[in-house]
Amino acid sequence: MSTKYVILGAGPAAQAAAKEINLYDDDAQITLYSAEDSAPYSPVALPYLLSGEMKEEDLFYKCTALPAENISFFRNKKAASVDPASKTVLFEDGETAVYDRLLVAIGASPAGKDIPGIAREDVFVFRTLADYKALQDRLERENKEVVICGGGLVAVEVAEKLASAGCTVTVVVRSRLLRKYFSEEMGACITELLRKHGISVRDGRNVAAASKKDGKIRLTLDDNTALSADLVVAAMGVNPNSLDGLETDGAIEVDEYMRTKWEDVYAAGDVASVLLFNGEKRPCPISPEAAAQGKTAGRCMAGAKVPYDAAVPANYLRIMDQDFFSMGVSEGNRADGFVTLKKQEEDSFLRLTIKDGCLVGAEGRNRKDIHPGLLRFLIRSGVYVEGEKDLLLEKPKETALWLAEQCRRAGIG
């Protein structure tokens, strides 16, 4: 008898899982349920729609290859609850689905869009295709003075794309740009780059008051600075989505096989709390890791025992024709045993962070000669680089390749 695989979600984790299940189980019956009203797509491409660098139809190009005959896909099907005892999913429209194995890949949602003094229709988020359409529709009908509240990757990417589309953009961030993703030095570099291209960045500031009069939004910051806007984009982080019946205090904790504490229930992507390379356990909300978790979940759901490697947070950013990456620890305190090596040139930068002789972090700007995936492999595998650390800084690509080859010969990684 065919196994019924139910996948809640249609993002990178869900798509990767469906493909893997299909590879490992020839008789699988796979059904994906998406809460959205669209075909599967990759959310990381959404900012490029704002600038016109990508058309909406291009968004689905790489996501149409889900192998077809035994995979069903339903849109506008938002799950309301799961009953692990009866192995049943209840959807908000009242319909149900019975599963043999379930993957929860329902992602995360913006942390909030309520700004006192401003109507909800004047505050936008940017997480889904529907969010893009709502924002784009408003921009096409009105003036284009935009304030973005938040300082993460979404805030920076949306700011750049809106500015390139002709909008006047101000970013308000309570601490500094990209605090969770890049070192203070790299964050300052990106801030200056945005400012050089006409984007105002008000760092270390909060919105103290807001109002709307004669069609214009007025924001007052906590330093009494007044800002004017036609609309506001709230980009203040995300929270994992939840389901009744699978109650947790946030993300769903999984083991190395993406299994939850409920029998035959797996989780992957932004909703899953996974083991990181440094021993932490939390979500790792980046698209490559979501896909890797989905692949692991799919294989294991289909019976293969292939564990998920500990996650290494990695961020890649291209703005204003400049390339930035960071992975692992972006900066560490020497008092805690971290050693930092840095190479600065006129238009490029490389920083390596080492602890106990192992590479634990890397960060770079305009270093296309480097393959970040190799550095990520060294971090994930806990490779000892103490004797080659200076060479790794001077010739990162060649040295990382050599170290990776030594690992391969030793059966590491």
List 217's β-bridge partners, or say none. Answer: 212, 229
CA 71/CA 90 separation, integer angstroms: 20
Segment of 88-102, 105-119, 214-228, 362-376 carrying the highest mean pLDDT:
88-102
Q: Is the pTM above the cut of 0.95?
A: no
Closest among 56, 59, 57 to 42, alpha carbons compared: 59
CA 85/CA 290 separation, integer angstroms: 27
Domain boundaries, the chain: 4-109+239-301, 112-234, 321-410
Residue 278: predicted pLDDT: 87
DSSP structure string for 190-233: HHHHHHHTT-EEEET--EEEEEEETTEEEEEETTS-EEEESEEE
What's the mean pLDDT in 314-338? 86
**pLDDT tens per residue, range 175-202:** 999 999 999 999 999 999 999 999 999 9
Report residue 394 as tokens.
Answer: 């001077």
Closest among 303, 314, 293 to 373, alpha carbons compared: 314
**pLDDT tens per residue, range 375-388:** 999 999 999 999 99
- For residue 67, pLDDT beyond 80: no
Question: What is the chain's alpha carbon radius of gyration, rounded to the nearest angstrom?
Answer: 23
Question: How far apart, in Å, are the Cα atoms of 132 and each of 35, 160, 240?
Answer: 16, 15, 20
**pLDDT tens per residue, range 34-47:** 999 998 888 888 99
CB of 210 closer than 8 Å to CB of 218: yes
CATH code of the region 4-109+239-301: 3.50.50.60
CB of 88 closer than 8 Å to CB of 182: no
Same fold, 4-109+239-301 and 112-234: yes
Chain centroid, CA 407 distance in Å? 29
Give domain 321-410's CATH number out of 3.30.390.30, 1.20.58.390, 3.40.50.300, 3.30.70.3450: 3.30.390.30
In this structure, which topology does domain 112-234 adopt according to CATH?
Answer: FAD/NAD(P)-binding domain (3.50.50)
